[in-house]
Amino acid sequence: MVLCWPANAEDEPPAMVRERFGAYDLQAIKTGDWVTYEFEMSGSKEKYTLSCVGKDDLDIWIEMDSLESAPDGARALCRADLVNRQIGEAWWGLSGEVGRPLKLQDHKRSPAGTKHSNTASVAEEELRIGERAFKCQVITIEGRAEFKGFTTTIHHKYWLAPDLPWPLRSDDLSAALGVSGPIEWSSKPDKLGTVVRHELEISTRDNRLRSTETLSSWGQDAKQTIKTK
């Protein structure tokens, strides 16, 4: 999920993970680039948008909305470092408002002693979304996490296309593809594109969670809507 909103937004500020943009090639993203995804999990459907609203030699400014139950129309504005991809400052509020500080928190890691293993393959496939056909690089990852006798299996399938805004980074494939631990590749991709579709399935002995993200629209005309002062 993108943002964590409290039941009463006046009680405490919402929170965002500092590494939220760690999967992306921030250097390649241009001011104005935006993408909108449809997200589906457990029968519920939501949309979220990532927008680059500014950039300089050191930082990138990103606006986004939430997948969770946020106050109507609320958005987040983040300043992230182009090199380490960490969010340094963030604000939230409604379009046209002066934003309020957004709480930043570290990504939760697996417990110490967890053993991760991942295997991955690459193929090519045409994916049609609506009237648009994409020639995609398809990456399938089968992962396992073992901790104190319990095993979790994680299945990822990515459809990636070139020449679209917001491509994934190619210098760290585990970070780009949301995988813990190293990946053993049957064939390794040279360069990653933009996520057109992502299927995720996480299974334990007692539970199974499935989600999908599908690119629905994109453009190059994003503007900043939240003020910092």
Which contacts (CB < 8 Å, 24+ apart) does range 83-86 have?
85/19, 85/21, 85/22, 85/24, 85/26, 86/18, 86/19, 86/22
pLDDT at 2: 44
State CA 185 to chain mean position distance.
22
Q: pLDDT digit of tens for each residue in the chain (229 aa)? A: 344 444 344 455 578 899 999 999 999 999 999 999 999 998 889 899 999 999 999 999 999 986 454 566 788 999 999 999 999 999 988 999 999 998 899 887 778 889 999 999 999 999 998 888 999 999 999 999 999 989 999 999 999 999 999 999 999 999 999 999 999 999 889 899 999 999 999 999 899 999 999 999 999 999 999 999 8
Contacts of 97 (CB under 8 A, 6+ apart): 226, 227
Cβ contacts of 126 within 8 Å, gap of 6 or more: 133, 134, 135, 136
**In angstroms, rounded to a whole number, what is the distance separating the alpha carbons of residues 81 and 190?**
25
- Binning the chain into helix, strand and coil, the percentages to the nearest 5 are 0, 55, 45
Map out the domains of the chain as residue ranges. Answer: 15-108, 115-218
Confirm whether pTM is higher than 0.95. Answer: no
- CA dist., res. 195 & res. 169, Å (int): 11
Q: What does the DSSP assignment read for 35-87? A: EEEEEEETTEEEEEEEEEEEE-SSEEEEEEE-SS-PSTT-EEEEEEETTT--E
* pLDDT the model gives residue 25: 98
pLDDT in tens, 43-101: 889 899 999 999 999 999 999 986 454 566 788 999 999 999 999 999 988 999 999 99
